[in-house]
Amino acid sequence: MDRIDELSDASVPFDFDGHAMIPCDDAPALETFLHSAFGELRMNKVNARKEFFRVPLDRVRTLLTARGMEAAFTMLADAHEYRETQALKKMSSEERGKYQLQREMKPQNGSE
C-alpha cells in the first residue's frame, strides 16, 4: 500500500487502487519481471520511464500462477474519483452544474 500511495501523486489523473497483493521477497525484481512480461502492453512505447501498462488482471493472475506465486486479487476497486468522473460524463450540463454546487456546499475533510 505504501507503493500505491507513492505512485498516487499529482502526475496521474486518479489515485491508484490496489487490485492485487503479491507477497514476495524481492519486490524490485518482481516489478522488473512484470514490466518485461507485459512490455508489449506498455501504454507509452517511446518513454520506458512511463511505467503504465494496459493489462487485464486475468493475464497477471495467469502469469503469477505459472510462476508458482500466489496473490490476493480483487476485481472491485474503490476508484471513487474515477467512478464519479464517469458518472459526470453522462450528466447533462444542468445536472453537472447542480452536482458541482452540491460539492461546493459540502464541508471539506470533515470540517465546516
Domain boundaries, the chain: 2-73, 80-110
Q: Is the confidence at residue 76, as pLDDT, over 70?
A: yes
Judge whether residue 18 has pLDDT over 90: no
Reported confidence tier of residue 109, pLDDT bands at 50, 70, 90: low
pLDDT given at position 112: 47
**In the predicted structure, residue 111 carries a pLDDT above the cut 60:** no
Q: What is the pLDDT of residue 39?
A: 94
Closest CA relative to residue 73, chosen from 86, 64, 84: 64
Single pTM value for the model:
0.65
Lowest mean pLDDT among 6-15, 65-74, 81-90: 6-15
